[in-house]
């Protein structure tokens, strides 16, 4: 058998076979064929790119082992699945190291004996109903683009609304975030990714298919397929395939649940005394597990909060350093742009005289007749953009600067609110196309910590952005002076999803959030309420589900004798706010 394999290998290397699409690489002993092996760039644990950008996973190690025992050279390329599948069809890739078998696919591809059995599962959010494939009609189902389940839903006209995405991870993230109804994906990758990404609200509700999974080539490329089939057979006979399989897939397959029903069957056969002891042990063990799980979750939550707090503490240092690096080139631009404007003013009469005598001529790649109109505006735009950069950097530095509650100062509430709006400008633009800000022209100056009040306004505006369900819904921000009450108000109203009545009294509780699965920590409003209390102010909310939320920040004004020296001014929305 060994001499036959070596003879076949020598013939294959000596006589290039048509249609392989293999790259020839010059080596020390002459030309040698390199077989291009394709795979999915993010399909763990089968195949994926590791932290260093190198191919890894069960399929990759199996391919490398086959190349070793067969004496062939391979180059593994991991890209989005739709790209590698198209590359195989077009001859840019020689062989795929992992493709699920179906009768429809045999019209285009030939398959080696399978090296794994892949179970396809229907995943849903925890608490959603269990469904089979036939019950997906009319449901929005996430699948990987070009995957076997994508093909199946289309070929069998299931009637589902197919939502194709690039990777299993994209499908699971979208489902966990509340988008669409189900995800039809491979079971082991989904379990692996759910664990890695922390998607605890997803569960498999059905496992309708078990498919053969192995190497695939373009139809008719039998010689190449035979090499990999023979190499796979050698690995199976020597036990090396099983070792690779156990290393990558064994832990996941063995972790799908402990068979308690077998314990019950064995226990039923024991004597009454042993059954009683076993029951006590099981109950005690479950109670301990629940207690450990609850403590572990609490510790993990505290750890995440400490990490986030440390990140926020580092923000001031980072912003200061980045601001310095940005301000240097900004200052250089602000210094040089006026010089350029003066240079243009000096050169323009000369260029105009030349233009009148000789007609139009190229200037900076465009006709001078056009450039003479454009250049002044270009210089003005660059100068205004540079000023805006410096202003935003200054706002970030002020916001990141640490300061205690004892640092009281006079501040203009309109200026604080406008600065907060500038800082969250990008979030506002992503959330809505209808943002309005109205600043009262009769606000007296306030006494307090402007930076902390700015933090409260930022939290209120970001919460309003997160409550919106589509960009057509709007946000309205208003400041006003309630003279009779001796207070000034900041009102933030959104047209979002609203707040459930049972949650209203818990909004400012530490760590309470309805957005835990989307990264919420439940600290924003709690911290805001503490800051407002330090300033003898108030923070109130009014909301109805489906009709939006109104948040009102109330702060006390200074005594009349202190405000008499103030010079309130009318303030319009900044040009760089939404």
Nearest to 559 by CA among 482, 481, 446: 446
Token duo for residue 136: 């997906």
Q: Quickly list H helices, 78-163.
A: 81-89, 148-155
More confident residue, 467 or 261: 467
For residue 573, the model assigns a pLDDT of 39
Q: What's the CA gap between 45 and 59, in Å, rounded?
A: 8
Q: What's the CA gap between 428 and 466, in Å, rounded?
A: 9
Nearest to 170 by CA among 199, 208, 130: 199
Q: What size, in residues, is the chain?
A: 578
User: How far, CA to CA in Å, does 307 sit from each of 84, 304, 310, 312?
Assistant: 39, 5, 5, 9
Instruction: Confirm if 525 and 533 have CB atoms less than 8 A apart.
Output: no
Reported as a pLDDT band with limits 50, 70 and 90, residue 219 is: very high
Reported as a pLDDT band with limits 50, 70 and 90, residue 568 is: very low
Q: What's the CA gap between 332 and 326, in Å, rounded?
A: 10
Question: From 3.40.190.10, 3.40.50.720, 3.30.565.10, 3.20.20.70, which CATH number describes the 407-578 domain?
Answer: 3.30.565.10
Number of C-alpha atoms within 13 angstroms, CB side, residue 576? 17
Any idea what DSSP says for residue 492? E
**SS percent in the chain: helix, strand, coil, step 5:** 50, 20, 30
Architecture of domain 2-253: 3-Layer(aba) Sandwich (3.40)
Helix (H) or strand (E) holding 125: strand 116-125
Mean pLDDT, range 174-198, rounded to an integer? 91
Angle at 160 between CA 156 and CA 161, to 5 degrees: 130
Helix (H) or strand (E) holding 429: helix 425-431
Q: What's the CA gap between 369 and 351, in Å, rounded?
A: 10
More confident residue, 573 or 165: 165
Q: What's the CA gap between 380 and 387, in Å, rounded?
A: 11
Domain boundaries, given as residue ranges, for the chain: 2-253, 268-402, 407-578
pLDDT in tens, 343-361: 988 998 999 999 999 899 9
- Mean pLDDT of the residues in the chain: 81
Q: Using a pLDDT cut of 90, give the percent of the chain over it.
A: 39
Contacts of 443 (CB under 8 A, 6+ apart): 412, 413, 414, 479, 480, 481, 488, 568
What is this structure's pTM? 0.41
Reported as a pLDDT band with limits 50, 70 and 90, residue 91 is: very high
Instruction: Confirm if 35 and 72 have CB atoms less than 8 A apart.
Output: yes
Is the predicted pLDDT of residue 512 greater than 80, yes or no?
A: no
How, if at all, do strands 30-40 and 73-79 pair?
parallel
Reported as a pLDDT band with limits 50, 70 and 90, residue 324 is: low
Contacts of 84 (CB under 8 A, 6+ apart): 38, 39, 40, 77, 78, 93, 96
Any idea what DSSP says for residue 166? S
pLDDT in tens, 125-136: 998 888 888 889
Displacement of CA 102 from its chain's centroid (Å): 33
pLDDT in tens, 14-47: 333 433 344 443 444 434 489 999 999 999 999 9
For residue 561, the model assigns a pLDDT of 39
For residue 319, the model assigns a pLDDT of 67
Is the predicted pLDDT of residue 501 greater than 70, yes or no?
A: yes
Instruction: Confirm if 521 and 304 have CB atoms less than 8 A apart.
Output: yes
How, if at all, do strands 362-363 and 538-543 pair?
unpaired
Is the predicted pLDDT of residue 120 greater than 80, yes or no?
A: yes
More confident residue, 137 or 207: 137
> ω into residue 45 within 30 of 0, thus cis?
yes
Nearest to 532 by CA among 472, 455, 462, 466: 455
Nearest to 216 by CA among 119, 122, 104, 120: 104
pLDDT in tens, 416-430: 999 889 888 888 999
For residue 326, the model assigns a pLDDT of 80
Nearest to 519 by CA among 203, 297, 198: 198
Secondary structure (3-state) at 49: strand
Instruction: Confirm if 70 and 130 have CB atoms less than 8 A apart.
Output: no
């Amino acid at each position: 058998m060994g001499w036959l394999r070596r003879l076949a290998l020598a013939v294959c290397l000596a006589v290039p076979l048509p249609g392989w699409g293999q790259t020839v690489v010059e080596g020390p002993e002459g030309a040698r064929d390199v077989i291009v092996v394709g795979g999915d760039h993010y399909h763990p644990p089968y195949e994926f790119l590791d932290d260093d950008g190198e191919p890894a996973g069960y399929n990759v190690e199996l391919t490398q082992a086959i190349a070793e025992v067969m004496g062939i050279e391979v180059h593994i390329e991991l890209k989005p699945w739709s790209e590698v599948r198209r590359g195989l069809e077009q001859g840019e890739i020689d062989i795929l190291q992992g493709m699920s078998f179906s009768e429809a696919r045999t019209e285009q591809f030939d398959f080696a004996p399978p090296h794994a059995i892949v179970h396809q599962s229907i995943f849903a959010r925890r608490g959603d109903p269990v469904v089979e494939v036939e019950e997906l009609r009319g449901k929005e189902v996430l699948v990987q683009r070009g995957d076997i389940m994508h093909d199946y839903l289309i070929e069998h006209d299931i009637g589902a609304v197919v939502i194709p995405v690039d990777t299993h991870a994209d499908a699971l993230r979208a489902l966990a975030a509340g988008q669409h109804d189900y995800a039809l994906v491979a079971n082991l990758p989904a379990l692996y990714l759910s664990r890695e990404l922390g998607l605890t609200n997803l569960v498999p509700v059905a496992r309708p298919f078990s498919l053969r999974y192995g190497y695939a080539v373009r139809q008719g490329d039998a010689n190449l397929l035979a090499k990999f089939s023979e190499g796979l057979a050698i690995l199976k006979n020597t036990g090396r395939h099983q070792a690779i399989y156990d290393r990558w897939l064994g832990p996941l397959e063995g972790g799908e649940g402990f068979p308690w029903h077998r314990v019950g069957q064995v226990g039923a056969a024991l004597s009454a005394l042993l059954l009683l002891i076993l029951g006590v042990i099981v109950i005690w063990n479950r109670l301990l597990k629940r207690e450990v799980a609850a403590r572990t979750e609490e510790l993990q939550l505290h750890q995440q909060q400490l990490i986030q707090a440390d990140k926020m503490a580092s923000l001031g240092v980072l912003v200061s350093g980045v601001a310095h690096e940005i301000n240097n080139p900004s200052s250089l631009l602000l210094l040089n742009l006026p010089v350029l404007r003066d240079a243009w003013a000096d050169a323009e009469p000369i260029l105009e005289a030349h233009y009148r005598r000789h007609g139009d001529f190229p200037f900076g790649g465009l006709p001078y007749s056009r450039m003479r109109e454009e250049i002044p505006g270009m210089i003005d735009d660059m100068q205004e953009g540079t000023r805006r950069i410096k202003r935003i950097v200054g706002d970030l530095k002020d916001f990141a600067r640490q300061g205690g509650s004892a640092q009281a100062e006079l501040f203009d509430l309109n200026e604080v609110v406008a600065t907060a709006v500038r800082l969250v400008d990008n979030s506002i633009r992503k959330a809505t196309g209808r943002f309005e800000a109205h600043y009262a022209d009769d606000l007296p100056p306030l006494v307090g910590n402007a930076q902390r009040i700015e933090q409260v306004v930022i939290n209120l505006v970001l919460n309003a952005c997160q409550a919106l369900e589509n960009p057509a819904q709007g946000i309205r921000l208003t400041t006003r002076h309630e003279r009779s009450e001796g207070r000034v108000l900041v009102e933030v109203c959104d047209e979002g999803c609203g707040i459930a009545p049972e949650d209203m009294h818990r909004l400012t509780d530490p760590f309470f959030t309805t957005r835990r699965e989307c990264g919420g920590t439940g600290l924003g409003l709690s911290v805001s309420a503490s800051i407002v209390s330090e300033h003898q102010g108030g923070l109130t909310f009014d909301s109805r589900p489906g009709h939006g939320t109104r948040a009102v920040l109330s702060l006390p004004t200074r005594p009349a004798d202190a405000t008499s020296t103030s010079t309130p001014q009318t303030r319009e929305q900044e040009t760089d706010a939404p």
